[in-house]
Structure 1
Amino acid sequence: MDKSFRLAAAIAATAAVLVSAPAASAGTRGAHDGPVVSHIKTTVAFDYAAGESAENITVNPDGSTTISMVGITAGKPPKLERISPTGHRTVLVTGQAGDTILGNTRGPDGTVYYNVMSSDASRAGIWALAPGGKPHRIAALPTNSLPNGLAIDPAGRTVYAADSNSGTIWAVPSSGGTATAWLTDAALAPVPSAPQPIGANGLRFHNAALWVSNTNHGTLMRVPVTTAGKPGRIHVVSSHVAGIDDFAFLSTRSDVVVAAVNFRNEVVVVYPDGTARTVLTSADGLNNPTATAIRGRCLYITDAGFSAPNAPKLQQGKINISALLSAAHS
């Protein structure tokens, strides 16, 4: 049984426990008039048996999306795909069976960066695909790492990867080089006794800081990046989002976060004061949501389909910004 398939089995087992558990009430917000997200639809349905478990998403300037397919089914290779606004699929990268492609992000020049988890030291690490070019590794990572969320600074100089195994955020020059442990902290580490130990997971560079989620701890954190490029003190924005995966910001100026909560089949809005509100559930078709992305009023959601009914997909909905912001004052 390959490494990625064992990971999927553990996540599915965890999901079965947590989806049936009561949701935490601390730090939540009450309902208000009008849905925060509406017009939910499936843009593309994927094939779980073919290894098409959607893990991460980046929205491109032309409205297309770049999707990581982890290749979670035994013997199936991971992929990186571009999906047009009309749902046309183009395979950008096909990885090696037994490896896993996780986070992806886009540089200012259009280069796509992505993480590869592999037991092969020649493949484990951060990879890049320039427009019109071929995929190549820009930095090696340890074979026992789980490089998950991926982010790039606005200047496009440094790529950061959240390691869900080691409680580390790695940094590497976008042009290539040695990966350095930019920040290692207990706040980023997994819970060893958890059914599936997953620590630092989602990662976004936003307003001069790296924001990172910790799945096991249910936390969303902000780490200022100093002018020298060093990490500042970790600030816990919220500790009320058990099972949080990757996330997106309402806008470049807003600190309101819309997060995928994988194990609970939820999408949750997290406000700057740390409170949270569930806005989508399995009733909206969520099946182990792994990541969100926002472009204007459009919300994109990737579903991995790890647990029954094993329905991985790319979903899309409309954000009611006035309803969302009014909840911030309720």
Structure 2
Amino acid sequence: MPRSTRLTALAVAGAALTVLAAGPASGGDPTVTNAQVVAHFDFAAGQTPENIALEPDGSADLTFAFARQVVRVDRKGGTTVLATLPAVTNPQTPNIGAAIVTGIARAHDGTLYVGFATGTAETGIWRIPRDGGAPEQIAQLPAGSFPNGLALDEECGTLYTADSALGRVWSIRQDGGEPTVWAEGPALEPAAAGGFGANGLKLHDGAVWVSNSDRGTLLRIPIGPGDDRPAGPVETRATGLTAIDDFAFTGHGDTVLAALIMDSEIEFVRPDGTHKTVLTEQDGLRNPTSVAVRHKSVYVNSAAYFATVNPDPNLLLARISKNKD
């Protein structure tokens, strides 16, 4: 959920957000420990990590929002540039004003899909060949949209992306084509003009899950039966997640780790909606934007968008205990 100026940061901080709801401790909660930063990035060069997809070998594919790059970071912190999205003349990206790369999804064959928000005809979903190469736009979204979180359902060949500006979820064929408004409504919209509504997006257990940054909520939208797979009613699963950005499930159940970008915290969200903080700025977080979980490993991107002194965008790894999900 990037912002390009500290004026924007102040506006977001002053927005009406839901008050954080602390949850009771549970003996069944997993623990998140051994946090360490494995890679530091160059804020001045636009290396602000926005979203993450994991490779089979444990490497992480990241989008660098303002550098317009997709990179691969190995578990020792080595970084390789896979692709650079095109420069855009006079970008008019909503809320930002700069062209940025946002969400990322990985197909089983290694093909990567990313969101590109520009405020121009380049806004949409772009495809990157396995192991990198020239990116290709496969779907164009309205210039006033802000594609953000992105997920791929390979079983039905559909990409879903959250639109933070227009407050909706789009569906797009994996091979490209005309996007379709899959879900919309007040729960997905920003709380006010210039805000960020639907942001992070994940597919999980027959539903599309979406975070709303302005409203501090985690939402579940069931995927209906039939070839058109319609969106069911939006369900609010958690509230009080102040400025939530992206999130990830810890296992097969509905337990989530959520990035709270303004508070520089990772929140553990239980299936009943209660939550507690498990990682903080003291662990190395600097405005975390996204989370990924594989087995016992937790990956967290921090973009340092709001740092006032020595911004430190980074990738952090931690360990999660085995849990019942």
Shift of residue 30, structure 1, vs aligned partner: 3.7
CA contact (8 A) 2:208 2:222 kept: yes
Task: Give the alignment of 1:70-109 within 5 angstroms.
Answer: 70-71=65-66, 77-95=67-85, 96=87, 98-109=98-109
Partner of 2:263, secondary structure, is: coil
Task: Give the AA of the match of 1:198.
Answer: F
| In structure 2, C-alpha distance between the alignment counterparts of 1:276 and 1:242, rounded to whole Å | 12
Shift of residue 285, structure 1, vs aligned partner: 1.5
Partner of 1:321, secondary structure, is: coil
| In structure 1, C-alpha distance between the alignment counterparts of 2:104 and 2:73, rounded to whole Å | 14
More deviation in 292-301 or 95-104?
95-104
Shift of residue 8, structure 1, vs aligned partner: 4.2
Shift of residue 55, structure 1, vs aligned partner: 0.5
Task: Give the AA of the match of 1:254.
Answer: G
Partner of 2:216 in structure 1?
A: 218
- Say what the alpha-carbon RMSD is for the aligned residues: 2.5
| In structure 1, C-alpha distance between the alignment counterparts of 2:68 and 2:161, rounded to whole Å | 18
Partner of 1:39 in structure 2?
A: 34
| In structure 1, C-alpha distance between the alignment counterparts of 2:26 and 2:148, rounded to whole Å | 32
CA contact (8 A) 2:165 2:196 kept: yes
1:260 aligns with 2:259: yes
Structure 2 unaligned segments of length 5 or more: list them. 89-97
| In structure 2, C-alpha distance between the alignment counterparts of 1:134 and 1:33, rounded to whole Å | 46
Shift of residue 12, structure 1, vs aligned partner: 3.1
Q: Which has the higher helix share?
A: 1
Percent identity for Structure 1 against Structure 2:
36
| In structure 2, C-alpha distance between the alignment counterparts of 1:254 and 1:222, rounded to whole Å | 13
CA contact (8 A) 1:240 1:274 kept: no
Task: Give the alignment of 1:179-328 within 5 angstroms.
Answer: 179-192=179-192, 197-228=195-226, 229-251=229-251, 253-308=252-307, 309=309, 310-322=311-323
Task: Give the AA of the match of 1:37.
Answer: V
Shift of residue 185, structure 1, vs aligned partner: 1.0
| In structure 1, C-alpha distance between the alignment counterparts of 2:18 and 2:280, rounded to whole Å | 12
Partner of 2:149 in structure 1?
A: 149
Partner of 1:74 in structure 2?
A: none
So what's the TM-score if we normalise by structure 1? Answer: 0.87
Task: Give the AA of the match of 2:9.
Answer: A
Task: Give the AA of the match of 1:197.
Answer: G
| In structure 1, C-alpha distance between the alignment counterparts of 2:302 and 2:124, rounded to whole Å | 24
Q: Can you list the C-alpha shifts for 1:97-155, whole angstroms capped at 9, x where unaligned?
A: 6410000011122210000001331x111001122653101100111111110011142
Structure 1 unaligned segments of length 5 or more: list them. 72-76
Shift of residue 22, structure 1, vs aligned partner: 12
Specify whether residues 173 and 5 from structure 1 end up closer, same or farther in structure 2 by C-alpha distance, changes over 3 A only: closer
